[in-house]
Amino acid sequence: MDVMKKVPVREQDPKVRATNFEEVCLGYNDEEAKAEAERCLKCKNAQCRKGCPVSINIPEFIRSVQEGDNKKAYEIISEDSALPAICGRVCPQESQCEGKCVRGVKGEPISIGKLERYVADWARENGIVPEKPATTNGKKVAVIGSGPAGLTCAGELAKLGYEVTIFEALHEAGGVLVYGIPEFRLPKETVVKNEVENLKKLGVKIETNVIVSKSVTIDELFEEEGFEAVFIGSGAGLPKFMGIPGEQANGVFSANEYLTRNNLMKAFREGSDTPIARGQRVAVVGGGNVAMDAARTALRLGAKVYIVYRRSEEELPARAEEVHHAKEEGIIFELLTNPTEILVDENGWVKGMRCVRMELGEPDASGRRRPVEVPNSEFDLELDTVIMSLGTSPNPLISSTTKGLDVNKHRCIIAEEETGKTTKDGVYAGGDAVTGAATVILAMEAGKKGAKGIHEYLSNK
Ligand SMILES: Cc1cc2nc3c(=O)[nH]c(=O)nc-3n(C[C@H](O)[C@H](O)[C@H](O)COP(=O)(O)OP(=O)(O)OC[C@H]3O[C@@H](n4cnc5c(N)ncnc54)[C@H](O)[C@@H]3O)c2cc1C
Ligand code: SF4
């Protein structure tokens, strides 16, 4: 074995997986996990841990995997993370723990994410569940939203003995984990549901189909329902559009709508109650993880798919692994290309997209080289579907109906970084609702800090 190289992980063949929604990555088996764990130097001053936003004791859990004690490995991870099977699959490890791993200086870093996933999957398959605290302290806390921020905050508070209820607008718990990230990256029934069930075993109650600020307001939660603190983890689900002509045509989707219809409403299944028009020629505008997910979903529904992105490959914001998988599956990348108009037929449906070629000029405020139009480079792509994946912002529903809850100019809730404390007494917030669209692990970190802030607040009340 070459200790400088990662133990390769098995994946579905690209040609096969391009036609199904099964998980792409098959994960390590026992021998592979042990062999990968053996590569770890178990550093005393472990840099990997410093790169993990929730500070998982990485060298110690890897040591337990190497020793064949997966239960202990799971316990070590669970001290700091309530969603390891999810993080092991979707965290950007290359820029976090693995990005700091000293093995990566001369060779390839340890596959920390794949080992985390291995341990969490082992725990699920072997029926290991978290223990409910023996008593509660009788104090009620409401959590709004069941994404990673809300789930983590709820779990941490339940472990401290609080009576926690999560209010979720959709009919299933999980936030982006169930409605955004597709099945082929994150299986819903096995992985996400199981981690949500584990929280329920800690005593957390989840009420779905409750839109806070419509079904019930935050003030009513305090005054009529007896909650003593509230955590807002309502995410950033409001899509952005380009504002170009033709964007209102039939066949133009936001990535959020397209993915929600597929992942949550199961539009991809034959006989679905809410089927989606299956495009044959689809363009996804944008270059982030969400764009890759939308493109790879459209491909699996049978389309020829283009990613249209105005900068070059180097600036693509999506994880390198996602871009690599998308290319392997046959997604066509139209880089340095910007749409200027959606072309619409006489019945109001998309028939194409006019684009212009771009080149990179001087760096802009973000430090990235600004894309500028190449004169006379217009061309048309023949399409029947366009999916806009240009980012999202927090929905203003809660902030605009809750007195005393301040937001910044991007409509993000203003909250203290270390505690999640907002401008309204007893109300805490974290995750995408505060930062704008970010990552699962940062939302979890914010959920953890919010729980700590609430615990301090209620302990001193
Ligand atoms: C398609 C897609 C792919 C992604 N891929 C990755 C990835 O690979 N890796 C990664 O780390 N991150 C990824 N992200 C980002 C990541 O999923 C988010 O940063 C993270 O989910 C944010 O967590 P959250 O808990 O703040 O919000 P969310 O996950 O958005 O959850 C918020 C929840 O609040 C609910 N809600 C909103 N308003 C109300 C209300 N008024 N009342 C009750 N409930 C309400 C929503 O229905 C939702 O369930 C991806 C995002 C998307 C959209
Ligand atoms: S930095 Fe790398 S080698 Fe060192 S303990 Fe962490 S994972 Fe192991």
Per-residue pLDDT of 168-178, as tens digits, reads 999 999 999 99
Cα angle 356, 359, 365; round to 5 = 110
**Residue pair 236/430 in contact by the 8 Å Cβ criterion:** no
**Residue 79: both structure tokens together:** 């001290």
Whole-angstrom distance, CA of residue 338 vs CA of residue 329: 23
Residue type, 262: N
Neighbour-count burial for 89-127, b at 16+ CB within 10 Å, e otherwise:
bbbbbeebbbebbbbbeeebbbbbbbbbbbbbbbbbeee
pLDDT at 297 over 80: yes
- Nearest ligand (C-alpha, residue 440): 1
Residue type, 432: D
- Nearest ligand (C-alpha, residue 56): 2
**Atom 2 (ligand 2) nearest CA:** 101
How many angstroms is it from 254 CA to the middle of ligand 2? 40
**Atom 37 (ligand 1) nearest CA:** 234
**Per-residue pLDDT averaged across 102-109, rounded?**
95
How many angstroms is it from 369 CA to the middle of ligand 1? 29
- Nearest ligand (C-alpha, residue 65): 2
Model confidence at 82, pLDDT cuts 50, 70, 90, reads: confident
How many angstroms is it from 383 CA to the middle of ligand 1? 29
Residues with CB under 6 A from ligand 2: 40-43, 46-48, 58-59, 62, 101-103, 110, 112
Tokens 């040591």: give the residue.
63
- Nearest ligand (C-alpha, residue 170): 1
Tokens 């009420």: give the residue.
207
pLDDT at 235: 97
Strand 337-344 and strand 350-363: the pairing is: antiparallel
pLDDT at 147 over 80: yes
Cα angle 68, 70, 74; round to 5 = 155
Residues with CB under 6 A from ligand 1: 90-92, 144-150, 167-170, 175-176, 180-181, 210-213, 233-235, 237, 259, 289-290, 293, 395, 397-398, 431-433, 437-441, 443
Per-residue pLDDT of 225-271, as tens digits, reads 999 999 999 999 999 999 999 999 999 999 999 999 988 877 777 77
Counting every residue written for the chain, the total comes to 461
Q: Which helix (H) or strand (E) holds 388?
A: strand 385-388
Cα separations (Å) of 259 from 15, 262, 291, 308, 364?
22, 5, 10, 18, 31
290 CA closest ligand 1 atom index: 1
How many angstroms is it from 431 CA to the middle of ligand 1? 8
Whole-angstrom distance, CA of residue 173 vs CA of residue 283: 30
Q: Which helix (H) or strand (E) holds 52?
A: none
Whole-angstrom distance, CA of residue 111 vs CA of residue 40: 9
**Atom 8 (ligand 1) nearest CA:** 90
| Dihedral sign of CA atoms 70, 73, 79, 80 in order | negative
**Nearest partner of 173 among 154, 136, 146, 192, judged by Cα:** 146
In sequence order, the 6+-apart residues with CB closer than 8 A to the CB of 125 are none
* Global pTM exceeds 0.85: yes
Percent of the chain's residues with pLDDT above 90: 86
Per-residue pLDDT of 191-206, as tens digits, reads 999 999 999 999 999 9
Model confidence at 450, pLDDT cuts 50, 70, 90, reads: very high
pLDDT at 274: 75
In sequence order, the 6+-apart residues with CB closer than 8 A to the CB of 42 are 59, 62, 63
pLDDT at 434: 98
Burial class (CB in 10 A: 0-12, 13-18, 19+), 135: exposed
CB half-sphere exposure, 157, CA atoms < 13 A: 35
pLDDT at 42: 94
Burial class (CB in 10 A: 0-12, 13-18, 19+), 225: exposed
Cα angle 127, 25, 150; round to 5 = 60
Whole-angstrom distance, CA of residue 115 vs CA of residue 76: 13
293 CA closest ligand 1 atom index: 1
| Main-chain dihedrals φ then ψ at residue 190, nearest 5 degrees | -80, -60
- Nearest ligand (C-alpha, residue 264): 1
In sequence order, the 6+-apart residues with CB closer than 8 A to the CB of 81 are 54, 56, 87, 444
**Residue pair 353/308 in contact by the 8 Å Cβ criterion:** yes
**Atom 21 (ligand 1) nearest CA:** 176
**Residue whose CB lies within 8 A of the most ligand 1 atoms, among 89, 179, 181, 184, for a mutation test:** 181
**Nearest partner of 89 among 236, 225, 188, judged by Cα:** 188
Whole-angstrom distance, CA of residue 257 vs CA of residue 416: 31
**Per-residue pLDDT averaged across 345-366, rounded?**
93
How many angstroms is it from 288 CA to the middle of ligand 1? 15
398 CA closest ligand 1 atom index: 41
Q: Which helix (H) or strand (E) holds 452?
A: helix 440-459
Neighbour-count burial for 13-29, b at 16+ CB within 10 Å, e otherwise:
eeeebbeebebbbebbe
Looking at per-residue pLDDT, the higher value among 367 and 389 belongs to 389
| Main-chain dihedrals φ then ψ at residue 83, nearest 5 degrees | -130, 55
**Residue whose CB lies within 8 A of the most ligand 2 atoms, among 6, 44, 66, 102, for a mutation test:** 102
**Per-residue pLDDT averaged across 96-110, rounded?**
95
pLDDT at 107: 94
pLDDT at 2: 85
pLDDT at 413 over 80: yes
41 CA closest ligand 2 atom index: 3
**Nearest partner of 58 among 92, 31, 98, judged by Cα:** 98
